[in-house]
Amino acid sequence: MHPSLAMVPSTAVRCDAQTSPTKLLIDGLTKSYGSCAALQPTRLEVQTGEFLTLLGPSGSGKTTLLQMISGLVEPSGGRILIDGQDETRTPVHKRDIGLVFQHYALFPHLTVAENIGFPLRMRGIAKADVARRVAEALELVHLGQLGGRFPKELSGGQQQRVALARCFVYQPSVILMDEPLGALDKKLREHMQYEIRRLHRETGATIIYVTHDQEEALAMSDRICLMNHARIEQIGSPHEIYTRPKTIFAADFIGVSNIFRGRVQHDGNGAAVLVTASGVFRVGDGAPPAQNEAALVVRPEQLELDGEGDNEVSGEVVDTVYAGSETRVLVALRDDATITVRLRRGALPPLLGDRVAVRWRCDAGVLVS
């Protein structure tokens, strides 16, 4: 029997994927509909207590993967192992998995407490234990005084918290969340991101979270599994995915990037450079062989207006975007490309039409091929 929520230590920390045991193993999983591959052969390990986000555009395969883990969709091939046990053909209602959807799927005729207690009653838990665990779950999501209300009497954020409590209350082996915050406004969504992170820390649950929102993935995850064209594009920590993208797609999808495409050459000193329509740029170590096509990725915060650096381009300021915590300057280059510069805090933005020089260090960019 699972321990009660009250027995789970509140000092749980972010998962260390190097030391935690494997909770979920996806081994060569694939799904096809006729000649269309919804998921190419995929291998993925999720560690106990990890918060892993499946991120990608529509049609990338992330929801298909989640549905196969849950048992809602049958794989065309491969295996799903939970705690080392093959669950590939186990019916959805017999898998020890919790589901949280974008639309809360609360029973309108049941109170908040009855909604939360529903999965416990379905599992034959004693009435006294159900009442205790429901009370603990209500406190966990800060809804202790609302157990007697009906869903229609709650705000959207409160309803989502009830859905979360209903999932956490029976402590499934893995919790799957399919864009659970997609129906909320920005401020409430950010608040619920905090609530889900808090629940993850306090319970130590293993969570697989689907979203197409890159900022949400960066803010919430231990690791991000970036998907594209029905396959995994890159897996890593939010910091790794952002600072060291491995492909042009990863660089372009995560955050704002300035991407210079060109061909690798060597200068008179034998150093690698990238020859592009916008200029010739030093690229540092790890460059591919000469004559190979590649792309240099430089984040807006790595660029400086009229600052110092190994590389330089010049252009005309065509727009400035004030976003409260930052100001972005858009600069049109001679080849009609436009790059984005994030100003340092307190720096005054240039005027529209100003000619500016933009510089960066060669080690500030990432070369992908």
pLDDT digits (tens, 9 = 90+) for 263-282: 998 877 777 889 999 999 99
Give the CATH number, domain containing residue 229: 3.40.50.300
Asked if residue 269 and residue 185 are part of one domain, the reply reads: no
Return d(Cα 196, Cα 362) in angstroms, integer. 39
pLDDT of residue 134: 95
pLDDT of 6: 36
Which is more confident, 17 or 183? Answer: 183
Based on the fold, state whether residues 239 and 277 are members of the same structural domain.
Answer: no
**Residue 207 included in any domain:** yes
Bridge-based pairing of strands 207-211 and 51-55 is parallel
CATH number at residue 266: 2.40.50.140
> Is position 248 within any domain?
no
How high is the mean pLDDT of the chain?
A: 89
Whether residue 249 lies inside any domain: the answer is: no
* Average pLDDT estimate for 110-133: 93
Report pLDDT digits (tens) over 342-352. Answer: 998 878 899 99
CA distances (Å), origin 150, targets 94, 115, 159, 165, 168: 29, 9, 10, 15, 19
What is the mean predicted confidence (pLDDT) over 58-71? 94
Structural domain includes residue 197: yes
Q: Does residue 118 lie within any of the structural domains?
A: yes
Identify whether residues 115 and 75 lie together within a single domain: yes
On whether both 136 and 226 belong to a single domain, the answer is: yes
- Domain range for 303 is 256-368
* pLDDT surpasses 60 at 1: no
pLDDT for position 93 = 86
For the cut 80, the answer to whether the pLDDT of residue 253 exceeds it is: yes
By mean pLDDT, which of 79-83, 176-180, 231-235 is the weakest?
Answer: 176-180
The dihedral built from the CA positions of residue 184, 189, 195 and 201, taken in this order, carries a sign that is positive
Q: Hey, CA dihedral for 61, 62, 65, 70, is it positive or negative?
A: negative
pLDDT at 181: 86
Average pLDDT over residues 26-31: 97
What's the domain count of the chain? 2
| pLDDT confidence of residue 299 | 95
Q: Is residue 250 part of a domain?
A: no
Instruction: Please give the structure tokens belonging to residue 222.
Output: 């231990």
- Verify that 232 and 87 share a domain, yes or no: yes
- Return the higher-pLDDT residue of 201 and 16: 201
Cα 27 to Cα 187: distance, rounded to the nearest angstrom: 38
C-alpha angle with apex 13: 10 to 15, nearest 5 degrees?
Answer: 135
Give 326 or 43, the one with higher predicted confidence: 43
pTM of the complete model beyond 0.85: yes
